[in-house]
Amino acid sequence: MKLRVTLLVLLAALALAGVPRAARAQANTAETLTEASRLYDDLQVERAVVLLRRVLSPSSPFEVSREQRVEAYVYLGASLAILGQRDSAVTYFRAALERDPFADLDPARFTARERAAFAEARQRTLAVGSRPLPARRFDPRTEQVPIVFVSTQPATVRVEVRSLGDTTGVVLFDRESEGVREVAWNGTVDGAPVAAGRYAIVVRASNAAGDTDSSSFAFTIAHDHEALEDTLPDFHDGELLAERWPASAANRDLGRGLALAGIALVIPTLGSGHLDETGHPLARVAALGAASGGVFAFVQRRRHPVNTGAIAINNARRVQRAAHNAEVARRNAARLAAMRIVIIPEATGP
Amino acid sequence: MSAPRRLGLRLLLLLALPAGARAQQSLPARLADRFQPAASGVIGIADHRVDAGLGFERTSGLLLGVQVEATPLEGTLLSVRALGGALGAHTPSTDARDVGEIAATARMRLVPWLDARAGLTTRTFTSSLARQRWTSAAIGADLRMTMLEGRLEGTAGAQLLPFVRVSGHESPNASFGASMGLRYVARRYLVGLGYQLERYDFPSVADRRRLEEHTMLTLRAAYRFGRMTRATAD
């Protein structure tokens, strides 16, 4: 029995060790925040403040996500506002806004005093931000992607989509703004669908007092289209006919002419010797003509070594290949025209 | 205009359109495009030698004539040549004679460097004493040698004459021919030089063997009709 209890304890310890530390830490933070929220709702504000300070403490053993930290700052600011510590409340609300400019107080849950302190924090803090783009696939010709951004104060806000690889980008908004706004992006830059790659939505703001703030988040653009075909490369030397005759071509033509002359001289020997009394002057004339033809070809080939036939064939092949490539380009253009843009959000840090 | 008349006019126009399109090119022009005919003027020197066992006879002379040819199918050539002239005597006791011949030849490209050929020839020798008609059929092959990208082309051929009929004589028991040609083509124009030999061995009669040899050197200038194709332009 004792052995069985020991084994169970050991198994439980192993199971606990198997749970990722971060998950357990965040679970503990979440539990603490839930408890603090419950205490806040039960008006046990002092006890809530203790828990919230524990969450925000640098010495906290638990991991705290950005959202949890913002939530803790908001509840801590609200609790301190209830306790009459307005300056501290504003400080914590500002901390919340600096981390999440979208942070706000629900009028149904928070009192006017809390909201007044929050409004003051907002007036003293210039913070801008934008909501991460959700994963999405869309047609740049007919659809648009909403981009939501916020400025805590009246400020000149500039929102742009910028490539992280080069300087290309598109400005979506550049004027006075306050609060949450939404602009639409159709996935194009300079009128053309945005190239695949890593991009960021960058929000910058500057107010009348000269304060500035910016935020950005990265995402990846991918293209979804039918597979493109490759065009054929240009011909290299080995694939085309030689456009100049080699020196041997002239010699070959001369040889053929002389061979014909020899044949002309041989032909009469096929006749009967009885009929050869006066020789064969016609054969000699024919041989002379054939030899002259060979010499003519030799001289022509030496003077004009350009192979016009090969050039014509090569040109025809080039034209054929160009036509093939143009057809491939046309098909590829049609496929790209039907392309969909895919937005892949990148994980954001705490 | 009434509706039936409009309809009639439209039908007429519809029927006339294809005919009009065809009429854009005349029938001779279309035939010329199709068959790529060529017409030549031919000048030749003939040399006729005979040894009938009674001594060597030789006549020769200038012949003039025409030749027409056409390409019914790619790689084939049909030609007809007519020549005529007078052969003067070069040996004693030999009669001068007139000669006329008509030869039809068909060629077919077997491989780029070899043609097969077949031909029919009828040749008539007319002297003050008699008229002799030769009729022969030949088959053979021509070796082709192109130079200057085909603008200059040489041929060397050999022929067998399995059928030879000579009026007033028995047919020869051995007949063959050999030829050499060279032609230069410049677009529609063609100049050709040819040399051919025909040898006939007749059966012996009373221990006398008759041998005859006909050689001819020809020069021709031709003009090709029809649409120029890549092949003809070359």
- Radius of gyration of chain B, Cα coordinates, nearest whole angstrom: 24
Residues A173 and A186 in one domain: yes
Residues A68 and A90 in one domain: yes
d(CA A244, CA A311): 9
Domain boundary among A124, A155, A175: A124
**Is A290 in contact with B149 (Cβ distance < 8 A)?**
no
User: Does A232 fall in a domain?
Assistant: no
Domain boundary among A76, A99, A124: A124
pLDDT per position as a tens digit, A306-336: 888 889 999 999 999 999 999 999 999 999 8
Residue of B nearest to A290 (CA): B182
Which pLDDT belongs to residue A350?
39
d(CA B117, CA B107): 4
Residues A134 and A109 in one domain: no
pLDDT per position as a tens digit, B174-230: 999 999 999 999 989 999 999 999 999 998 887 888 899 999 999 999 999 987 655
Residues A63 and A167 in one domain: no
Task: Using an 8 Å CB-CB cutoff, list residues of chain A that contact chain B.
Answer: 253, 256-257, 259-260, 263-264, 267-268, 270-272, 274-275, 277-278, 280, 282-283, 285-286, 289-290, 293-294, 296-297, 300-301, 307-309, 312
CATH number assigned to the domain covering B36-233: 2.40.128.100
Q: Number of folded domains in chain A?
A: 3
Domain residue limits at A54: 2-124
Residues A89 and A63 in one domain: yes
**Is A267 in contact with B195 (Cβ distance < 8 A)?**
yes
How many C-alpha atoms does B97 have within 13 Å on its Cβ side?
24
Domain boundary among A124, A152, A183: A124
Q: Say how many C-beta atoms besides its own lie within 10 A of residue A218's C-beta.
A: 16
Q: Are A265 and A283 in contact, with CB atoms under 8 Å apart?
A: yes
Residues A40 and A116 in one domain: yes
Checking if the pLDDT of B167 tops 50, the result is: yes
Within 8 A by CB and 6+ apart from A295, the residues are: A254, A257
Residues A243 and A140 in one domain: no
pLDDT per position as a tens digit, B95-104: 899 999 999 9
Residues A175 and A288 in one domain: no
SS3 B4: helix
Q: Give the residue carrying structure tokens 């600096």.
A: A98
Q: Say how many C-beta atoms besides its own lie within 10 A of residue B209's C-beta.
A: 14
Q: What is the DSSP letter of A187?
A: S
Residue A220's CATH number: 2.60.40.2550
The ipTM assigned to this model is 0.85
CA A203 to each of CA A133, A136, A176, A212: distance values in angstroms, whole numbers, following the listed order: 14, 21, 13, 11
Residues A264 and A206 in one domain: no
